Structure 1
Amino acid sequence: MPVQYILGEWDFQGLTLKMVPPVFIPRPETEELVEWVLEEVSQRACADPLVLEVGCGSGAISLSLLSQLPQSRVIAVEKEEAAIHLTRENAQRLQLQDRLQIIPLDVTTEECWMQLLPWGPLDLVVSNPPYVFREDMEHLAPEIRSYEDPVALDGGEEGMDVIAHILTLASRLLKDSGSIFLEVDPRHPELVHSWLQSTPDLSLDLIAVRKDFCGRPRFLHIQRSCPVDTWPGPQTVAVHG
């Protein structure tokens, strides 16, 4: 059994979160994703962003953002009941529940975006989605396969199943120049870039890729295109060390 489940809690971005199986355990890489989001928010001088997290799990990302952006609001969507209960409990433990709206929702269903329209438009969409390639699932560590929810890991044949739905959803809900931040498999930057080029109607551009502490391309920054009359020019994919 993973030590996080044995202890019943784990630290993430300075917060002590309750952990219970089979809810996905947040990894150190995801702390880097949160740090990147915070960097971008500070550069935009946007103190009160409205954020959507897709697949909140234990609430690690949502609660970290709420704790460090005291005027922000977060909408967290999640389809697994155990994760919804755990996020709600962690929010109450940290007294952050007043700025968090948890919505039971499966983003792979048709017209799911319509349930979120009343909450938009959004400044940011953040997610550590299921992105493991189907063929890699059987090679995961035994403690992961035995205890953690496979739904939080399995991203389909190329790990893109949920990612594609998140991008489609975000394109309908983001403000102009709103951003999507994703944690992905190192093989995904090229796959996502190609997928976005094949779906220009979404008006989304991959503008930056960042490596994790092991030097693997792990995080994506995707932005909703500006209207034509304010279009700043061609955008390129930047790789940060």
Structure 2
Amino acid sequence: MTSSDLESLRRDAIDALAVAGIPAPEVDADLLIGHVLGLSRGAVQARALTRSPIDEQDARVIRAAIVRRATREPLQHITGLAPFRSLELAVGPGVFTPRAETEFVVQFAIDALALVPNPEPLAVDLGSGSGAIALAMATEVQHARVVAVEKSPEALPWTARNIERHGDGRVRLVAGDLADALPELDGLVDVVASNPPYIPLGAVPRDPEVRLFDPAAALYSGEDGLDAVRALSRTARRLLRPGGALVIEHGELQAAELAAILRADGFSAVACHRDLLGRDRATTARR
């Protein structure tokens, strides 16, 4: 790509990403160009229509970003940011990049938390990663207190950074394993939410962005993918007050097995919820 006007550069970028198999090459090209130039996607398109000239230094940076994306490096790693509901979260190597599916899942936790009659309800995000679930609960239920638990030494700096930026003092970060987290809160928590690892060890994620760049600890969990869920269920049972809510994200083929785990641990009102594409994606239950 050697073009010096924005329209030609944009077209070259779209073509390069399409050849690389990027699912939405036009979107990603616009977002990368906009990231470098400080423009929205619409502004990139508007400027391209006028064939605006582009500074050669900016052009070099854009070309380098396109080359990185063409290797299937996640867009969010290149920009350093992942949008999540109303938030922009810092992400990069070592932390799981939050997905749109989790935006759907966390709504159940937000709704449950908002209905708690306690004037200062308490929620826990187990295996917090970027802090997406914890911060969504805290920013959308502003009278709540939230605890984020994360054990990965690679992910923790990202969790801390996002909580410092968005937590407004209402999210506490705890370094620890979801299997034995927060014994001091036993029986006191109103909502437990989690997007645990749930891919079986023998499965290979289809998308290179996931397979090559997301941390394995955030993806894989035992032969059937449910080892973390088993630990999570026991921990949530211990933490939740009677009537407290549990919200778990999972794979689309795991709903029945996950429900059996929860019922065996004494949860009631176990229900699976389908996402906008009709896939089983979230399960809720009550202590």
Is 1:106 paired with 2:173?
Answer: no
* 2:158 corresponds to: 86
* 1:174 corresponds to: 240
* 2:65 corresponds to: none
Distance in 1 between the 2:237 and 2:162 partners? 30
Which AA in structure 2 matches 1:118? Answer: E
**1:81 is paired with a residue of what secondary structure?**
coil
* 1:212 corresponds to: 275
Distance in 2 between the 1:5 and 1:122 partners? 34
Q: Could you tell me whether the CA contact under 8 Å between 1:52 and 1:126 is conserved in 2?
A: yes
Which AA in structure 2 matches 1:125? Answer: V
Match of 2:123 among 39, 42, 51: 51
Say how many residue pairs are matched. 214
Distance in 2 between the 1:57 and 1:89 partners? 11
Match of 1:129 among 174, 196, 200: 196
Match of 2:286 among 216, 220, 223: 223
Which AA in structure 1 matches 2:199? Answer: V
Structure 1 residues 37 and 196: CA distance shift in structure 2, 3 A: closer
Structure 1 residues 155 and 4: CA distance shift in structure 2, 3 A: same
Report 1:18-167 matches (<5 A): 18-45=90-117, 48-94=120-166, 96-108=167-179, 112-113=180-181, 116-120=182-186, 121-136=188-203, 138-167=204-233
* 2:74 corresponds to: 2
Once the two structures are TM-superposed, the CA of residue 204 in structure 1 deviates from its matched residue by: 1.1
Deviations 1:36-62 (A, max 9, x none): 222233344555320111111111111
**TM-score, structure 2 normalization:** 0.70
Deviations 1:144-172 (A, max 9, x none): 22211011000211111000000001111
Which AA in structure 2 matches 1:167? Answer: S
Q: Could you tell me whether the CA contact under 8 Å between 2:201 and 2:220 is conserved in 1?
A: yes
Match of 2:266 among 191, 203, 215: 203
What is the root-mean-square deviation of aligned Cα atoms in Å?
A: 1.7
Larger fraction in strand: 1
Greater RCO (CA < 8 Å, at least 6 residues apart): 1
Distance in 1 between the 2:164 and 2:247 partners? 26
Q: Could you tell me whether the CA contact under 8 Å between 1:193 and 1:206 is conserved in 2?
A: no
Deviations 1:178-199 (A, max 9, x none): 11100001122110222234x3
Q: Which runs of 5+ in 1 are unaligned?
A: 225-241
Distance in 2 between the 1:97 and 1:82 partners? 23
Once the two structures are TM-superposed, the CA of residue 206 in structure 1 deviates from its matched residue by: 4.6
Q: Which moved more, 1:78-87 or 1:52-61?
A: 78-87
